[in-house]
């Protein structure tokens, strides 16, 4: 049956995909929908199209909220406020609730939205592990596996059917036939280990906004890869002219300055791989984020290192270049030169927050 909404829905999808009305493409936005994971709020990429209206900008705006907090404490970022904070809408009366999400669900949503393919893990045939999963029910089994609820229900049913059940004295006595037990199935699972090495340029030219982009993007990459592999190891490298291996927290917070030598990060990456992740046992993913402003004479070193010790061993090498108001952004052109020789290298330019989802799609859309 066609519904009155179908025509509109169809039209909307065409607009989002850019098949019609290309001038509306610039109003397509992502991530208005919010889910919550623990205490963290995550936004889920659901495309919508804005209609431009006369609106107030951020500057000089404000609102009213409720709760604890000292004066001056930040309550939200600019730009995230959509229609302006604390707004009463003109929609008819609706009743909406937010629900919590698990990481797995997030990953599923992500894959659905971005149409990401599942990854074929390396070493799938070689390494298998056997696992028991308690997913079914049997009539026999040890008492320790007795399924109390099912047993009770069957007993209750039987007693009601045979009119033994007395509501004023609701005693249920299960007999042998009522008993049900949990049971297992043995499943073979591919044992796949994966490791991610994140590298970020923290030279003076990277601003907070750009680091925010890196943070969001790595969150989603993490979420996705975690769904694909059982265990996942992560390593973080920050670099300016020299590289340091750091922990996750530092990775997102450091602010350093100075020149840029990308080869230093590659050397650190090589060290980590050699030390922790023998390539024949691990699926390796390298993600590098930079504004592409490398020291000119360093470029040849970089390409050499990549070709010798990184690209041959990793599933995927992704380079994301965030647009910088200062940098020249040359480095991506250097990598483009070797892109043809290596099929596991993916390059992406991330101009703004809105481009993050496209970039994730580029990175992970290869299914490697």
Residues 57-116 that bind other proteins (CB under 8 A): 57-79, 81, 84-99, 101, 105, 109
Nearest to 363 by CA among 270, 288, 269, 295: 288
Residue with token string 């002219």: 241
What DSSP letter does each residue of 253-288 carry, written as one string? H----S---HHHHHHHHHHHHHHH--TTTEEEEEEE
Min dist. Cβ of residue 119 to other proteins (A):
22
Min dist. Cβ of residue 55 to other proteins (A):
5
Task: State the binding string over 251-270 for other proteins (x if CB under 8 A, else -).
Answer: --------------------
Min dist. Cβ of residue 28 to other proteins (A):
10
Q: How many other C-beta atoms lie within 10 A of the C-beta of residue 274?
A: 12
* 71/173 with CB nearer other proteins: 71
* 53/149 with CB nearer other proteins: 53
Min dist. Cβ of residue 293 to other proteins (A):
23
Per the DSSP assignment, residues forming a β-bridge with 239 are 201, 243
Tell me which of 21, 25, 131, 133 binds other proteins, using CB under 8 A: 21
Nearest to 348 by CA among 302, 30, 340, 339: 339
Nearest to 324 by CA among 198, 211, 197: 211
Region of residue 46 (left: phi > 0; alpha: psi -120 to 50; beta: else): beta
Residues within window 292-351 making contact with other proteins, judged by CB under 8 A: none
CA atoms of 276 and 268, how far apart (whole Å): 12
Token pair belonging to 14: 């065409």
> Coil, strand or helix: which one is 188?
strand
Min dist. Cβ of residue 11 to other proteins (A):
4
* 69/367 with CB nearer other proteins: 69
User: Contacts with other proteins: how many residues (CB under 8 A)?
Assistant: 72
Strands 48-49 and 28-29: antiparallel
* 49/232 with CB nearer other proteins: 49
Min dist. Cβ of residue 109 to other proteins (A):
5
Tell me which of 22, 39, 40, 52 binds other proteins, using CB under 8 A: 52
* 8/257 with CB nearer other proteins: 8
Q: Give the single-character DSSP code of 243.
A: E
Q: How crowded is the C-beta side of 191, counted as CA atoms within 13 Å? A: 8
* 59/149 with CB nearer other proteins: 59
Min dist. Cβ of residue 108 to other proteins (A):
8
* 10/177 with CB nearer other proteins: 10
CA atoms of 266 and 182, how far apart (whole Å): 51
* 125/208 with CB nearer other proteins: 208
Single out the segment in contact with other proteins by CB under 8 A; choices: 16-24, 230-238, 288-296, 336-344.
16-24
User: Does the protein bind other proteins through residue 11 (CB under 8 A)?
Assistant: yes
CA atoms of 264 and 243, how far apart (whole Å): 5
Report the residue count for the chain: 368
Residues within window 146-175 making contact with other proteins, judged by CB under 8 A: none
Min dist. Cβ of residue 88 to other proteins (A):
4
Strands 316-322 and 282-290: parallel
* 73/186 with CB nearer other proteins: 73
Min dist. Cβ of residue 107 to other proteins (A):
12
Residues within window 25-44 making contact with other proteins, judged by CB under 8 A: 32-35, 44
Beta carbons of 70 and 7 less than 8 angstroms apart = no
């Amino acid at each position: 049956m066609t519904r009155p909404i179908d025509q509109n829905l169809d039209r909307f999808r065409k607009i989002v995909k850019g098949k019609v009305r290309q001038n509306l493409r610039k109003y397509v936005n992502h991530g208005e929908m919010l889910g919550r994971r623990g205490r963290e709020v995550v936004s889920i990429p659901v495309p919508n199209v804005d209609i431009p209206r006369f609106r107030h900008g951020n500057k000089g705006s404000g609102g009213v909220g409720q709760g604890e907090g000292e004066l001056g404490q930040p309550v939200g970022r600019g730009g995230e406020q959509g229609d302006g904070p604390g707004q009463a809408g003109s929609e008819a009366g609706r009743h909406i609730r937010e629900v919590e999400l698990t990481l797995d669900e997030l990953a599923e949503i992500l894959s659905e939205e971005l149409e990401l393919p599942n990854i074929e893990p390396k070493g799938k045939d070689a390494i298998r592990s056997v696992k028991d999963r308690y997913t079914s029910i049997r009539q026999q089994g040890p008492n320790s596996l007795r399924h109390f609820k099912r047993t009770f229900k069957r007993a209750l049913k039987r007693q009601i059917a045979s009119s033994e059940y007395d509501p004023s004295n609701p005693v249920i006595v299960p007999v042998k036939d009522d008993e049900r037990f949990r049971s297992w199935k043995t499943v073979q699972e591919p044992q796949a280990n994966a490791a991610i090495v994140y590298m970020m340029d923290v030279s003076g030219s990277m601003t907070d906004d750009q680091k925010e982009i890196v943070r969001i993007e790595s969150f989603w990459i993490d979420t996705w890869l975690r769904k694909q592999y059982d265990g996942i190891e992560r390593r973080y490298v920050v670099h300016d002219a020299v590289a340091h291996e750091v922990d996750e927290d530092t990775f997102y917070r450091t602010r350093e300055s100075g020149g840029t030598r990308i080869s230093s990060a590659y050397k650190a990456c090589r060290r980590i791989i050699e030390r922790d992740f023998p390539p024949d046992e691990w699926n390796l993913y390298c993600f590098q984020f930079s504004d592409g402003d490398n020291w000119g004479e360093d470029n040849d070193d970089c390409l050499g290192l990549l070709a010798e010790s990184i690209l041959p061993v990793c599933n995927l090498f992704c380079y994301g270049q965030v647009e910088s108001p200062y940098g020249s952004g040359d480095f991506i052109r250097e990598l483009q030169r070797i892109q043809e020789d290596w099929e596991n290298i993916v390059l992406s330019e991330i101009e703004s927050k809105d481009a993050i989802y496209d970039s994730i799609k580029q990175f992970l859309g290869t299914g490697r």
